[in-house]
Amino acid sequence: MNLILRKLKYSYRLQFIAFLALASLTGCGNYTPKPHGFPKVDFPEKRYKTFNDDCAFHFDIPDYAIVEKDTHRHSEPCWYNIKFPSFGATIYLTYKPIRGIDQLDSLSDEAFKLAGEHRKKADAIEEKEIYIKRTESKGMIFELMGPAATPFNFYISDEKHHYVRGAFYFDNHTNTDSVAPVYDFLKMDMMNLINSLEWHD
């Protein structure tokens, strides 16, 4: 009798273990991990207007941008902060009048140096030459991939009288992947700024 009871208990245990195993397999089969999502951003329509101050250049900006004078104590005339309040981002724009080829070389070297300072955190840096035939202007774009503080830098000059440098930053530290759609959207505005820039001789 005891032997029969032991066999029955053993049989029930096996059935219970088999049931648990089957239940866990069935549960796992129904679980699908959710892909990592990004917050939905409603991008406005791109409509541009010309920004023209008492400086040696003008350029186009979108309606959703605000241009403010740079009031930092080391700032110079015709330095501007182009803010995108809806996206928490800013382009810091600096202007220098050129007084000789040596100064142009020095400014260009400084642009390479400033972009290079972010190379330590960037996964890669892409350098693209700029040439605007309409204004006979040349320059360079530095696009930094990965967790660099500034993903987009540029400079452009007519190589005679005028030099403009821009550095794009998100106002707060952000995850590179999560802001990628915003960056791609605003990158079009930066390219439009570069292409629309005109000098006042």
The model carries a pTM of 0.76
Q: What is the pLDDT of residue 31?
A: 46
Q: CA-to-CA distance for 59 and 192, rounded, in angstroms? A: 9
The pLDDT of residue 7 is: 47
pLDDT at 11: 56
Question: Alpha-carbon distance 59 to 151, whole Å?
Answer: 21
Q: 144 CB contacts (<8 Å, ≥6 apart)? A: 115, 118, 119, 122, 124, 125, 126, 150, 151, 152, 153
The burial class, CB within 10 Å (0-12 / 13-18 / 19+), for 93 is buried
Q: Where are the beta strands (DSSP E) in the chain?
A: 48-52, 57-62, 66-69, 80-84, 89-97, 124-132, 137-145, 152-157, 162-170, 198-199
Per CATH, domain 48-199 is 3.40.1000:
yes
Exposed / middle / buried, residue 40 (Cβ in 10 Å: 0-12, 13-18, 19+): exposed
Question: What pLDDT, on a 0 to 100 scale, did the predictor assign at position 146?
Answer: 72
Could you tell me the mean pLDDT of each successive run of 10 residues in the chain, 201 residues long?
47 57 52 50 92 95 97 93 96 94 90 74 82 96 81 94 95 77 95 96 77
Residue type at position 13: R
Query: Which amino acid would we find at residue 186?
Result: L
Joined together, the tokens standing for residue 85 give 């309040």
User: Domains of the chain: which residue ranges?
Assistant: 1-33, 48-199
